Amino acid sequence: MTNPLVQPLALPCGVTLANRLCKAAMSEGMADVNNNATPRLEALYRRWAVSDAGLLFSGNIQVDPDHLERPLNIVVHDESGQEQLARLAAAGRSGGAQFWPSSAIPAARSTQLSTRRRLRPRWSNSTSCAAPASISRNHGR
């Protein structure tokens, strides 16, 4: 019998994964001080790209530079860093896998270390944060 793990998987969204192996989201903290993707991150994802996994989830990609999960998260909050992000996505896809970004909910993960002492050149007095989706922290309970 053929191992089901190596069989393609058609998803309802229309994407077909080459197999059922997936690299889970893992926080990297390997962006630069402007929270953009780096050649080191590209090299990491190029290595994972040849692992034969059908799907690579990225680590935390934040949407609010004032509320990070850890210093050196990637942050997507304006037009900056798009080229670096495109290179990272290309590295992730270079072996034929899907590369899906994991946008993080900052309030649930931010710590004092990553918000008030993060490795960014500017400080902020912001007290609220943006979120990629309106998911409550109590997860409906």
Ligand X SMILES: Cc1cc2nc3c(=O)[nH]c(=O)nc-3n(C[C@H](O)[C@H](O)[C@H](O)COP(=O)(O)O)c2cc1C
Please identify, among the stretches 22-30, 71-79, 86-94, 123-131, the one whose residues bind ligand X according to the rule CB under 6 A.
22-30
Residue 105 as a binder of ligand X (CB under 6 A): the answer is no
Contact 7, 39 (CB under 8 A): no
Q: Could you tell me the CA-to-CA distances from 88 to 22, 64, 98, 118 in Å, in that order? A: 17, 20, 12, 23
Residue 6 as a binder of ligand X (CB under 6 A): the answer is no
Site for ligand X, residues 29 to 88, rule: CB under 6 A: 59-60
Please identify, among the stretches 19-27, 35-43, 76-84, 117-125, the one whose residues bind ligand X according to the rule CB under 6 A.
19-27
Residue 24 as a binder of ligand X (CB under 6 A): the answer is yes
Q: For the chain, how far is it from start to end, CA to CA, in angstroms? A: 43
**Beta-carbon contacts of residue 131 (< 8 Å; ≥ 6 apart):** 63, 64, 105, 106, 107
Positions in the binding site for ligand X (CB under 6 A): 24-27, 59-60, 102, 104
